[in-house]
Every structure is written in structure tokens, then in C-alpha cells.
Homo-oligomer: A and B are copies of this chain.
Amino acid sequence: MSRATASRVNPTEFAILGLLAEQPRSGYDIKKEVEERLGHFWSESYGHIYPMLKRLRSRRLITAKPSERRAGRPARQVYAVTAAGRRALTAWFERPPMAPRPRNELLLRLLLGRFAPAGVLRRDVAAYRARAHEGLVRLRAVQLELDAAASDDLDYERVVLAFGIALYTTLGRWCADAEAMLAERG
């Protein structure tokens, strides 16, 4: 009755749950995995991961157990999803993704460009282009690896990769055009 709560879902929670569904990991591993595999379109900080692990555990969506001692490495907790955790993961997929809150500071700056001191926008666009280029280089390297291994399991990785490559390529081209416009002006 009364208020239909339902909706509230925290995507970070499900990023963690999903990574743990792939295989058991520690908080540290999760952070690494996010950086290496999802870095181009996702991010998490320790200060968010650890409290979230605690919370997921208190809801019995994951379990923790200390890993067996590995030669000269500090102790670590390894987390794994429970059956309830997998159900929660499925339920998350069921509801559509939240519309992202758009927030592109570079475009905000450009739109307010008449108030910008000379040169700063060119600098910013150039930096943006450098990032896009760097991203593209890295993703192409990943692409080589993926092309080598022909497995259907990797179709999802491939489609995500294709997104990144298409995006960085487009951004790079746009930056070049934008820089040309800015150069003409100033």
C-alpha cells in the first residue's frame, strides 16, 4: 500500500555483484578489475567498494572468507555471490538501466566560450583529443588480443570494445574540427 518504493537500485552494488558472479574476488581485485576491464566506462573507489561489500554481506547476497595464505602476500578476504545474490543480479537486469545524468564539462565550457580567456578552450579540446587518442590506442591493443581468441563467450567483450572504439574515433574527429574552429577565431 501507500508508497511504491521498489525502484531504488544502486548500480555500484550490481557492478560488484556481477564481477563476483564471474568469479570470487577480494575488494582489491574488484578495484583492479574495474580499472583494467571497465576503466573506459566505469569506475569505483575503495572508499565505496569496501562499505558496499559489507552491506552486500549483511544482506546475505555475498559471503566472505579469508583466502588461504599465498607466499608472502598479506591476508585478504575473498567474496563470492550466494544464490540470493544471483537472484538479485537477475532482478537488476530485469529493470531497465537508469538514464545517465549527462555532465560533460568540456561542452559546458564551450557553450560559455565567450567568457573564456584566450587559448584555454584550445588547450582543453587538445587534452580531450589526447585522451581519446590514448583510449583508442589501448582499445586497439585489446582488440588484437580478442581477435586472437575466437570464442563466443567474448561476444559481449567485443561489443563493448566496439563501443569504445567507435566513440573514441568520433570524439577524436570532432576534436580536430573543434580545434580548427577555435584556431580560426583566436
CB distance from A30 to the nearest CB of B (A): 13
Copies of this polypeptide in the complex: 2
Q: Is B18 touching A107 in the complex (CB atoms < 8 A)?
A: no
Q: Contacts A18-B115, A93-B120 hold; do A100 and B108 have CB atoms under 8 A apart?
A: no
CB distance from A75 to the nearest CB of B (A): 28
- Interface of chain A, helix or strand or loop or mixed? helix
Q: Is A166 touching B173 in the complex (CB atoms < 8 A)?
A: yes
Does residue A15 face the partner (Cβ distance < 8 Å to B)? yes
Within 8 A of B (CB), among A92-117: 93-94, 96-117
Does residue A134 face the partner (Cβ distance < 8 Å to B)? no
Q: Is A102 touching B174 in the complex (CB atoms < 8 A)?
A: no
| Contact string against B for A residues 157-178, beta-carbon threshold 8 Å, 1 for contact and 0 otherwise | 1111011001101110110011
Compute how far the CA of A155 lies from the CA of B179 in the bound complex, rounded to whole angstroms: 12
Q: Is B109 touching A105 in the complex (CB atoms < 8 A)?
A: no
Choose, from A34-42, A56-64, A65-73, A141-149, the stretch at the interface. Answer: A34-42
Q: Is A108 touching B18 in the complex (CB atoms < 8 A)?
A: yes
Q: Contacts A102-B43, A115-B90, A117-B90 hold; do A108 and B38 have CB atoms under 8 A apart?
A: yes
Q: Is B11 touching A108 in the complex (CB atoms < 8 A)?
A: yes
Compute how far the CA of A41 lies from the CA of B104 in the bound complex, rounded to whole angstroms: 6
